[in-house]
Every structure is written in C-alpha cells, then in structure tokens.
C-alpha cells in the first residue's frame, strides 16, 4: 500500500521514537530519564525555531507516557504497536489533546481544556494537552489556564511548544520544565539525508546534500521538504548545481570569492558578483545570511583555529577560512560582522534588496581597509618613538572620504559646522582646538582623550594631526 501512494519525505521519515530524533540529545536524555525514574513534571515547554522537532518530540513524549509497551514492557521508547501509540500518531487519542494556539488563542478555545482536565483519562495513564505555538495565546486565555497549571490533577500533563520563548509569560515559564531545542548541525542533517537517500534509492552527490542542509538552516523538516522538491524536479539523480539553482543558493566557492573581495575592499568585484547572483536568480537575502555565517566562521577560525569544534565547515572550507583569517585583523573583522548583522536586519523590510546589499557590502569592504582609531594611535606612538614620519607608512591609512556635510564648502571660520553643537572642549587644551579642526568630531574627540596625543599636540606647536594623513600618501 505504501508503494502506491506517495508519502512526502518529512512525513515518511518523521521520528517515531526518541532514538530517531536527530540533534537534540540532551533534551531526549532528560525526557527519557524523567520517564525511567518516574519524575514527570506537570508541564513542559519546548522552545526552538520551526522544523527542528518540537511537535514531533511532544508526540513521542506523549506516546512514551501512555504507551502500553506491547512486547517489551521494560522499554521507555513508545512501542508504536499498541492502541495508544496508533491513536496518538493518528491524532485520534481521547487522552492526548492538541491545540494549535496560532489559530485558537481565545479564552473560549482553552475552556474545553479546563473542563476536560476534570475527567480521568479514558484508556491511558495520563491526559496530555499539547499546545503548539503557545506564545499566541491571549493573556486572558493564559489567565484562565493558570489555575489549572498551578495544581493540575496528577493524571494531567501539559506540553507547550513555541518558536518564540521570549513571548511566553514568565509566570508560565516558571511553572514548566523548559527545553531550548538547538538548531540541528549541518553535518547531522547531511548524514540523515544520506541515510534517507540510501533508503529511497536517490543518487545525490555530497555537495548537493550539503547545499540542501545549508538551505534548511538547522531545520530537518525543511531539509526533507527540499529533498522531496528536488526529486520531483530532477528525478533521482541530484547534483550540487541542481540544489543550488532550485533553492537560489550561491555556490560555496562564489561565496568565498565575495568574502575575499570584501576583505580586500574591492568594490568593483563586489558589484560584479552581486550583479551575477541577481541576474541568475539567487536569493540575495539568503546570500547576506550566508555571508554573515562565513565571517562568523572567520572570527572563530581566528580566535580558536580552524580545527575548532564550533566551526561547521568541510575540509575545503577550512583551508579557505585559514587563508582569509590571516589577511584581516580581528578588530576589522568584528566591524564587518556588525555591518552584516545590520544588513540582515535591514533586508527584512526593504524592497530594493539588491541596492541595499550593494551599498552595505561596499561599506563592509571600506571597513575592511580603513584605518581604525587604534591603528592611528599606534602610528602616532610610532612617530613619537622614532621621530620618523615614514614610520606612519607602515600602518595602512586609507584616507576616509570626509563626511559630505564637511566636504561641501568647508567654511573658512575656525570651527566646522557640526562642532558648534558639541559640548565645550576641555579647558586645558585651547591650542589643540585650533590644530585639529579638519578631523571628524568623533575621531577628534577620541584623539583628544588620548593622553599621548595631547602631549604631542601641546609639546609641538607647529604640528597638525591632519598631517598624519598627508604623510601617509
């Protein structure tokens, strides 16, 4: 019968027992122990992004609690054969009641639960209420539930699941055993996909599976849906290009080249790459997310080395990461990451994704190649120590274009327009005020705070900080 009807892969390979669950070892272990030692809490709260197994885990837990264990009475795993297991799996059990709070969030919707709590389970040990997307419940609905949650009859158990743990009221969270489900590692998804491909006679190359796993962002359900979609589209032979083109992903090497263009501040290369991705229909929002992940990996590689466990990367990726990590200092790397985080956030709301992406990445490229205040300080110190202007040339001082407002017709008065709004300069530095008027206010303020710079300025009447930039040209 199974051969005649096509069952979608996410359904067909939905985990049925604790040992089927991938990537949530700690949660599974705690739940199994709770059953084994009969220390079952009144309420559980599963928090995690979509498709990582909250509902699946809730059902397995409900089955394990109510299973009659036909055949193996000592097992904690649900047997999958008894009436209770069958009914729960089919959503027909009278003792396991599911509520989707996304569509049923009012007081009237939870009232049947409060009433049902009064009655003993019909055929099982426990009466279990699974409330999905529980953060959507109205405050009134929660209040109605609260009394029951505080002192439920011993046969009643609650399982709440949500994608947004922060939105669940603290009074509720404190009455639950809370589990934060982690996103499933790319490698775990790849090996599960490999297993399923073997079972389904799908011939997929490993890079294709990697691309699917990347696209699923830690969600097993999404990964399986994607594989399903790909098989419908391409048949049972799947290559990396297929996966990339169907899901609008950029190939690993193209992504690495773009990162390298950013690190080298090569605006033309950045624009060319975006043009190519856009015209070949790549998902630019996804590109921004993957780029952030790449730079995050660079931070990890720099801090911990490329053999770090926190690095989710293949051998080829690691070689590139090691090379790129050598070519950029950590301060700039952090600033690029900040820029990319900001970009990801912005892209959620804008329509002109490409333009925002272009501007943002060019800016990231500038960040990668513009001197930081620390480097300027270092240069100044080098100058102080050696008395040699050439020492400054060791430090790369890419002259940052002056902000537009100061660029346009700089007034001939001694004070630049924006500085008029600034609090008065420290009194002991009257001469400094005269000397550094061309440097943008933030930088200048930081410089004036530096004791060393102050001493240089005050002890060398003829010197101008602006000259540092001139000297480096």
Q: Using only C-alpha atoms, what is the Rg of the chain?
A: 30
Cβ-based nearer residue to Zn ion, 85 or 258: 85
User: Residue 441 has which token pair?
Assistant: 């206010």
Binding mask 202-231 for Zn ion (x = CB under 5 A): ------------------------------
Select from 79-87, 286-294, 304-312, 382-390 the region that touches Zn ion (CB under 5 A): 79-87
Q: Which pairing describes strands 156-162 and 127-132: parallel, antiparallel, or unpaired?
A: parallel
Cβ-based nearer residue to Zn ion, 124 or 148: 124
Query: Rounded to the nearest whole angstrom, what is the least distance from the CB of residue 126 to Zn ion in the complex?
Result: 13
Query: Rounded to the nearest whole angstrom, what is the least distance from the CB of residue 87 to Zn ion in the complex?
Result: 10
> Which CA distances in Å does 448 have to 223, 382, 435, 459, 472?
55, 18, 11, 14, 21
Among 57, 70, 66, residue whose Cα is nearest residue 30: 57
In 71-197, the DSSP E strands lie at: 96-100, 127-132, 156-162, 177-180
State whether the Cα torsion 296-302-307-313 is positive or negative: positive
Cβ-based nearer residue to Zn ion, 31 or 447: 31
Q: Does 189 bind Zn ion (CB under 5 A)?
A: no
Binding mask 36-75 for Zn ion (x = CB under 5 A): -------------------------------x--------
252: Cα within 13 Å, side-chain hemisphere: 19
Cβ atoms of 377 and 392 closer than 8 Å: no
Cβ-based nearer residue to Zn ion, 79 or 172: 79
Cβ-based nearer residue to Zn ion, 81 or 286: 81
Query: Rounded to the nearest whole angstrom, what is the least distance from the CB of residue 16 to Zn ion in the complex?
Result: 10
User: Residue 391 has which token pair?
Assistant: 């020492």
191: region left, alpha or beta (phi > 0 left; psi from -120 to 50 alpha): alpha
In angstroms, the first-to-last Cα distance of the chain is: 78
CA angle 364, 370, 373 (to 5 degrees): 120
Query: Rounded to the nearest whole angstrom, what is the least distance from the CB of residue 60 to Zn ion in the complex?
Result: 11
Query: Rounded to the nearest whole angstrom, what is the least distance from the CB of residue 187 to Zn ion in the complex?
Result: 32
Is residue 294 helix, strand or coil?
helix
Among 290, 216, 159, residue whose Cα is nearest residue 23: 216
Select from 78-86, 263-271, 332-340, 450-458 the region that touches Zn ion (CB under 5 A): 78-86
Instruction: Classify burial at 143, counting beta carbons within 10 Å of its beta carbon; exposed 0-12, middle 13-18, buried 19 or more.
Output: middle
Which residues within the stretch 419-458 sit at the binding site for Zn ion (CB under 5 A)?
Answer: none
Cβ-based nearer residue to Zn ion, 64 or 465: 64
In 93-174, the DSSP E strands lie at: 96-100, 127-132, 156-162
Query: Rounded to the nearest whole angstrom, what is the least distance from the CB of residue 350 to Zn ion in the complex?
Result: 51
In 203-246, the DSSP E strands lie at: 203-204, 237-238
Query: Rounded to the nearest whole angstrom, what is the least distance from the CB of residue 98 to Zn ion in the complex?
Result: 18
Cβ-based nearer residue to Zn ion, 70 or 388: 70
State whether the Cα torsion 110-115-121-123 is positive or negative: negative
Crossing angle, helix 186-200 and helix 206-216, to 10 degrees? 120
Q: How far apart are CA 418 and CA 444, in angstroms?
A: 12
Query: Rounded to the nearest whole angstrom, what is the least distance from the CB of residue 64 to Zn ion in the complex?
Result: 8
Select from 76-84, 117-125, 169-177, 259-267 the region that touches Zn ion (CB under 5 A): 76-84
Cβ-based nearer residue to Zn ion, 85 or 364: 85
Query: Rounded to the nearest whole angstrom, what is the least distance from the CB of residue 10 to Zn ion in the complex?
Result: 23
For 148, phi then psi, to 5°, come to -65, -40
Query: Rounded to the nearest whole angstrom, what is the least distance from the CB of residue 90 to Zn ion in the complex?
Result: 13
Cβ-based nearer residue to Zn ion, 82 or 313: 82
Query: Rounded to the nearest whole angstrom, what is the least distance from the CB of residue 30 to Zn ion in the complex?
Result: 21
Cβ-based nearer residue to Zn ion, 68 or 178: 68
Cβ-based nearer residue to Zn ion, 60 or 246: 60
Total residues contacting Zn ion (rule CB under 5 A)? 5
User: Which of residues 34, 52, 79, 456 is near Zn ion by CB under 5 A?
Assistant: 79
Which residues within the stretch 83-112 sit at the binding site for Zn ion (CB under 5 A)?
Answer: 85
Cβ-based nearer residue to Zn ion, 75 or 330: 75
User: Which of residues 22, 64, 82, 209 is near Zn ion by CB under 5 A?
Assistant: 82
Query: Rounded to the nearest whole angstrom, what is the least distance from the CB of residue 338 to Zn ion in the complex?
Result: 52
Among 254, 235, 250, 325, residue whose Cα is nearest residue 289: 250
> Which segments of 395-460 does DSSP mark as H helices, in order?
404-407, 430-435, 441-449, 451-459
Binding region for Zn ion (CB under 5 A): 67, 78-79, 82, 85
């Amino acid at each position: 019968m199974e051969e005649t009807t096509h069952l979608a892969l996410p359904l067909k390979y939905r985990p049925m027992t604790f040992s089927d669950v991938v990537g949530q070892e700690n949660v599974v272990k705690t739940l199994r122990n709770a059953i084994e030692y009969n220390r079952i809490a009144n309420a559980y709260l599963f928090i995690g992004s979509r498709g990582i197994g909250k509902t699946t885990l809730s059902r397995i837990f409900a089955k394990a609690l109510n299973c009659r264990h036909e055949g193996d009475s000592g097992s904690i795993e649900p047997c999958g054969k008894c009436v209770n297991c069958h009914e729960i799996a089919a959503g027909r059990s009278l003792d396991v009641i599911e509520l989707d709070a996304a569509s049923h969030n009012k007081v009237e919707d939870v009232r049947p639960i409060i009433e049902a709590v009064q009655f003993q389970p019909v055929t099982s040990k426990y009466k279990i209420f699974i409330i999905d997307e529980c953060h959507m419940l109205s405050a009134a609905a929660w209040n109605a539930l609260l009394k029951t949650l505080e002192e439920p009859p011993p046969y009643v158990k609650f399982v709440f699941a949500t994608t947004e743990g922060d939105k669940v009221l603290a009074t509720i969270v404190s009455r639950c055993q809370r589990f934060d489900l982690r996103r499933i590692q790319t490698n775990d998804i790849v090996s599960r996909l490999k297993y399923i491909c073997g079972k389904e006679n799908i011939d997929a190359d490993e890079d294709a599976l990697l691309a699917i796993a990347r696209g699923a962002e830690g969600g097993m359900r999404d990964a399986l849906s994607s594989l399903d979609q790909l098989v419908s589209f391409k048949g049972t032979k799947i290559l990396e290009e297929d996966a990339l083109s169907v899901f609008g992903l950029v190939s690993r090497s193209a992504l690495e080249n773009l990162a390298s263009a950013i690190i080298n501040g090569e605006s033309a290369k950045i624009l060319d790459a975006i043009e190519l991705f856009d015209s070949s229909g790549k998902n630019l929002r996804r590109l921004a997310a993957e780029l952030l992940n790449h730079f995050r990996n660079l931070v990890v590689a720099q801090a911990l080395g490329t053999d770090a466990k926190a690095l989710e990367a293949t051998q080829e990726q690691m070689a590139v990461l090691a090379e790129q990590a050598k070519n950029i200092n950590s301060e700039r790397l952090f600033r690029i990451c900040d820029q990319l985080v900001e970009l990801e956030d912005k892209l959620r709301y804008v329509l002109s994704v490409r333009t925002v992406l272009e501007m943002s990445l060019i800016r990231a490229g500038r960040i990668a190649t513009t001197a930081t205040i620390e480097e300027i300080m270092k240069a100044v110190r080098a100058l102080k120590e050696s008395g040699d202007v050439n020492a400054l040339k060791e430090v790369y001082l890419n002259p940052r274009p002056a902000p537009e407002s100061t660029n346009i017709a700089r007034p001939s008065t001694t004070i630049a327009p924006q500085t008029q709004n600034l609090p008065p300069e420290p009194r002991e530095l009257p001469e400094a005020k005269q000397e550094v008027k061309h440097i943008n206010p933030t930088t200048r303020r930081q410089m004036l705070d530096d004791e060393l710079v102050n001493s240089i300025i005050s002890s060398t009447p003829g010197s101008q900080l602006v000259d540092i930039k001139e000297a480096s040209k």
